[in-house]
Amino acid sequence: MKWISICFILLFSSSAFSQTDSSLIKKLDSAERMLLLGETESAQAITQSVSKEIEESKDSSNLGRWLLIKGYTSRQEGNIPSAIEQYHKARKIYLQINDSVGYASSIIKLAEVYYDNNQLDSSNLYCLESYQIARTYNNLYLKMVSLYYLGTLYYFLGDYETADHYLKLGVEDPDIHNTKSTVSLYAECNLLDIYASNLGELGNYNRAREYYNKEDSVARLLNDSSFIMLVRYGIGYIDLYEGKPKSGIDNCRAALDFYLSKRDIYYAEGCLECIGRGHYLAGNLDSAEYYLKEAEQSALAHQFYDFKKDIYKLMSELYEKKGNYNKALSYFKLFKEQDDSLKELASQSNILIVESRFRYEQLRSTANTLEEYARRDSAIINSQKKTNLFITLALSLVIILSGLLYYLYHINRNRNRILEQEVATRTAELTETNESLMLANAELEEFAHISSHDLKEPIRNINSFSSLIERRISSITNEELLDYLSIIRFNAGQMQLLVNAVYEFVHINKEDILVGIVNVSEVVEDVRRVLQSTIQDCSGEVVLKDHPETVISNRGMLFLILRNLLENGLKYNRSDRPRVEISVECVGNVDHWEIRDNGLGIAPQYHQRIFELFKRLHNREEFQGSGLGLSITRKVVNRLGGEIGIISEEGHGSVFWFRLPANNRT
């Protein structure tokens, strides 16, 4: 994934951006080399240093290239929204200057970042578009990258037949054998690797080995140890599938040593699971237990969930063989939970992808129709221009008919103007259709995420423990029954919190914003009354400090912002007497609010994540909540035309600030 991402930038730097200021090009080349070496901070420093030159040069190609580099550095830093913003800006620039290569660069980068962010329908949409461009211009590299992402997307959803369809188009392309450049060879390696893995899942082990060997040949040509070890890891799995545990263990152990030396925890975890599976197949149950335990601890510690289902299933079977049926049952339950969750997520993702493909075809059909209208209108306009020329010549020859001919000319000119306006209107409709598609896509992702994760989890827990009570009704003790009922009540409460939060989140954009004079003391007192039970339970206090008497805002939305921030300050707080202070300062045409608490505090690396949907820094057993509170708060602040942020360090409390525009105040 890393090589495709970086090399794609380099591909376009060597072709599409070579006709502008040489000094600026050298600096951008240097930034890309830094990215290739993994020196993201150095690359970022270079892009910042040339920002003024980019602005002064007014060269759209260089600006697009600069935005692509900025997007990549943002992505490496984990700032996904910023990366998406930079790539969209680059896409629009290349569309304006009719640069098909630059446009292809930006949309494949969008496909990558959406894939990494698990927004699979958006990734699918951009991959399909980039593949169409690649076929139009017969761009082999772009075809390989597009097909790689399409195949990988369906591979991880478990749709191996569809993955095989896309990947086969890439590996069987006759032009693939003519690849000479380094970036094309790396793309070929990625494509061969995922195709071989998919063949293994389909049970075609001989062909899987064949394509792993092809990948090994290309990797050795590149002298790239990462891909060489990736081949050994893949062949190790094939060995296990074919009942050769010793060979599989040896291959995966060699790969494990390599990945540990590179501190690649993800692939190291996969090797541990593979070695554990090999020992299990060989009957070495103690060794299998050791490696599977190591893999399980790695998955939990680093939040890698790709292998959890297989680990839990193997552990269940292992403990059953050992005669430890309690542990076997415990791991089987974990396996079922993980399996159900992954199936539900895959189902939701498949629905979104099917819908995105339908919308893509619909959009293409609309675009083709509008283009046909534009061609017809252009033909009519050209025809009318010829008519106008004829009328002009006739006017110079026939003075007697000049008045009548002028009248005809006037009519024809108006008709041309109407036709040109119609062309402009239809072009605007196409642009609006594109924007509507992206907006609908984003809303669909929000609801899919809710239904496939946070809402499903408590429902599944309630069903599980209800079934458990039903099965054990004759033998269950009162203590166990109360314990199970408390778990059911907890999950029901979590569902209620989530439903209320989702309702608030969805209806924010639907409410009209009516601003007026809001008394600061009164709105704070209203919030204090609503949170009275929370304040009493934690022996806390809410203090209103410096503030103007009134501000100009929407009272209901301001109430919602303050309620969420005050409740957070009181809830995430372990002090004997939680204290939350509110202050307001009027600066120019801005009201600057600060909500200061003496709570747990938040480490700087989480300052952006806490405002994202369903991001929680603590588990639900310790602090109950929906994971939507701060997302709702940010959405309300943005709806009011403001901004929000946090100043905090872990263990030193937090200061949430937000600024709202206010042109009048008393």
Final residue of a domain: which of 415, 440, 465? 440
- Residue given tokens 């509507």 in the structure block: 436
Tell me whether residue 582 is in a domain.
Answer: yes
| Number of other residues whose CB lies within 10 A of the CB of residue 48 | 12
Whether residue 293 is predicted with pLDDT greater than 70 in this model: the reply is: yes
How do residues 365-379 score in pLDDT, each as one tens digit?
A: 544 544 454 455 456
Instruction: Determine the average pLDDT of the residues in 271-275.
Output: 91
Total-model pTM = 0.49
Do residue 620 and residue 497 come from a single domain? no
Note the pLDDT of residue 285: 92
Note the pLDDT of residue 1: 41
Note the pLDDT of residue 445: 64
The percent of residues above 70 in pLDDT, for the chain, comes to 78
Instruction: Determine the average pLDDT of the residues in 434-444.
Output: 60
Note the pLDDT of residue 503: 61
Name the range with the highest mean pLDDT among 61-65, 371-375, 498-502, 641-645: 641-645
Do residue 622 and residue 590 come from a single domain? yes
Note the pLDDT of residue 592: 94
Gap between the Cα atoms of 559 and 561, Å rounded:
6
Tell me whether residue 78 is in a domain.
Answer: no
Tell me whether residue 142 is in a domain.
Answer: no
Do residue 522 and residue 649 come from a single domain? yes
Whether residue 505 is predicted with pLDDT greater than 60 in this model: the reply is: no
Gap between the Cα atoms of 563 and 592, Å rounded:
17
At how many degrees (to 10) do helices 520-530 and 555-571 cross?
50
- Would you say how long the chain is, in residues? 666
Tell me whether residue 395 is in a domain.
Answer: yes
Note the pLDDT of residue 45: 82
Gap between the Cα atoms of 451 and 98, Å rounded:
40
Gap between the Cα atoms of 129 and 146, Å rounded:
9
**131 touches 94 (CB < 8 A):** no
Do residue 545 and residue 576 come from a single domain? yes
For the chain, what is the domain count? 3
- Cα angle for residues 244, 191, 251 (degrees, 5° grid): 25
Instruction: Determine the average pLDDT of the residues in 65-87.
Output: 85
Whether residue 209 is predicted with pLDDT greater than 90 in this model: the reply is: yes
Do residue 550 and residue 623 come from a single domain? yes
Tell me whether residue 314 is in a domain.
Answer: no
Whether residue 444 is predicted with pLDDT greater than 60 in this model: the reply is: no
Do residue 538 and residue 436 come from a single domain? no
Tell me whether residue 503 is in a domain.
Answer: yes
Amino acid in position 110: L
Of 120 and 540, the one with more pLDDT:
540
Tell me whether residue 597 is in a domain.
Answer: yes
Of the listed ranges 118-127, 184-193, 224-233, 272-281, the least confidently predicted one is 118-127
Note the pLDDT of residue 3: 42
Final residue of a domain: which of 440, 467, 494? 440
Of the candidates 571, 656, 572, 560, which has an alpha carbon nearest to the alpha carbon of residue 607? 656
Note the pLDDT of residue 358: 45
7: left (phi over 0), alpha (psi -120 to 50) or beta: alpha
CATH code assigned at 559: 3.30.565.10
| Number of other residues whose CB lies within 10 A of the CB of residue 112 | 24
Do residue 430 and residue 470 come from a single domain? no
Of the listed ranges 78-87, 156-165, 465-474, 624-633, the least confidently predicted one is 624-633
Which residues constitute the domain of residue 650?
516-661
How do residues 519-571 score in pLDDT, each as one tens digit?
A: 999 999 988 888 888 888 888 999 999 999 999 988 888 888 898 899 888 88
How do residues 14-26 score in pLDDT, each as one tens digit?
A: 444 444 456 777 7
Hey, what are 322's tokens?
């050992």
Do residue 385 and residue 431 come from a single domain? yes
Do residue 477 and residue 564 come from a single domain? no
Residues 6+ away with beta carbon under 8 Å from 13: 28, 29, 32, 65
Whether residue 290 is predicted with pLDDT greater than 70 in this model: the reply is: yes
The percent of residues above 90 in pLDDT, for the chain, comes to 20
Note the pLDDT of residue 502: 59
How do residues 586-599 score in pLDDT, each as one tens digit?
A: 888 899 999 999 98
Do residue 503 and residue 523 come from a single domain? no
**In which band, very low, low, confident or very high, does the pLDDT at 41 lie, cut at 50, 70 and 90?**
confident
Tell me whether residue 522 is in a domain.
Answer: yes
Note the pLDDT of residue 379: 61
Do residue 492 and residue 572 come from a single domain? no
Mode of pairing for the β-strands spanning 550-553 and 579-587: unpaired
Whether residue 239 is predicted with pLDDT greater than 50 in this model: the reply is: yes
How do residues 392-434 score in pLDDT, each as one tens digit?
A: 776 777 777 767 777 877 788 888 888 888 888 888 878 777 7
Whether residue 212 is predicted with pLDDT greater than 60 in this model: the reply is: yes
Note the pLDDT of residue 622: 45
Note the pLDDT of residue 440: 45
**403 touches 428 (CB < 8 A):** no
Final residue of a domain: which of 440, 464, 483? 440
Whether residue 380 is predicted with pLDDT greater than 60 in this model: the reply is: no
Do residue 653 and residue 521 come from a single domain? yes
Mean pLDDT of all residues in the chain?
Answer: 79
